[in-house]
């Protein structure tokens, strides 16, 4: 498949998972919104939710059911503490896992945080033709994921291939 020669804006949602952050101090969510808009994508909706499996699932399920939503960026809840439950909440919603994202995220993170990168349970996948990326809650981790992986994969001009260019074929059976 030949990638597009022009940028194709996608419509994305941002969800911050946190028991302590508010809209006033959600630096990771702020970064993701600013980065996606600066890249030419559209923000469909931004929400903040407590680290609760069923609340997360409800919000993400709503977004993946909306045809105009192409992707979801989730920040937070991917660690090992007792309250970190983003993988448990979101993975059951996925039609396909994208193991390469988590592997790649941990590999690029090693330069920044060393062996602590093994504690990250960052992951991605596809649900109802919607890309979902689940990232650690720190702003630096969100920046790393966006700048080193997600940004280029959501750009239809990235060669030799990209996720944005796959969108027309995601519903094939």
What CATH number is given to the structural domain containing 155?
A: 3.40.980.10
Total number of domains constituting the chain: 1
pLDDT digits (tens, 9 = 90+) for 106-156: 999 999 988 888 878 999 999 999 999 999 999 999 999 999 999 999 999
Domain that includes residue 73, residue range: 11-169
The residue written with tokens 């045809």 in the block is 67
- Average pLDDT in the 50-58 region? 96
Torsional sign, CA 167, 96, 102, 22: positive
2 belongs to a structural domain: no
10 Å Cβ neighbour count for 66?
14
6 belongs to a structural domain: no
10 Å Cβ neighbour count for 154?
27
4 belongs to a structural domain: no
128 belongs to a structural domain: yes
What pLDDT, on a 0 to 100 scale, did the predictor assign at position 168?
A: 83
Three-state DSSP class for 67? coil
25-118-48 Cα angle (round to 5): 25
Identify how many contiguous H helices and E strands the chain contains and give both numbers.
Answer: 7, 6
- Average pLDDT in the 70-86 region? 92
19 belongs to a structural domain: yes
What pLDDT, on a 0 to 100 scale, did the predictor assign at position 2?
A: 55
157 belongs to a structural domain: yes
Average pLDDT, the chain: 93
162 belongs to a structural domain: yes
Q: What are phi and psi of 18, to 5 degrees?
A: -165, 140
3 belongs to a structural domain: no
């Amino acid at each position: 498949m030949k990638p597009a020669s022009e940028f194709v804006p996608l419509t994305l949602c941002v969800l911050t998972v946190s028991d302590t952050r508010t809209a006033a101090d959600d630096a990771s969510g702020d970064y993701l919104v600013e980065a996606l808009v600066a890249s030419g994508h559209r923000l469909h909706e931004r929400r903040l939710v407590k680290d609760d499996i069923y609340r997360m699932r409800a919000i993400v399920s709503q977004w993946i059911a909306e045809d105009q939503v192409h992707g979801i960026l989730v920040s937070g809840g991917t660690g090992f503490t007792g309250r970190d439950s983003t993988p448990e909440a979101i993975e059951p919603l996925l039609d396909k896992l994208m193991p390469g994202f988590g592997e790649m995220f941990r590999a690029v993170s090693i330069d920044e945080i060393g062996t602590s990168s093994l504690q990250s349970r960052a992951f991605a996948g596809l649900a109802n033709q919607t890309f979902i990326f689940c990232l650690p809650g720190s702003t630096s981790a969100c920046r790393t994921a966006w700048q080193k992986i997600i940004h280029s994969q959501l750009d239809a001009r990235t060669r030799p291939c990209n996720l944005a260019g796959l969108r027309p074929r995601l519903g094939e059976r």
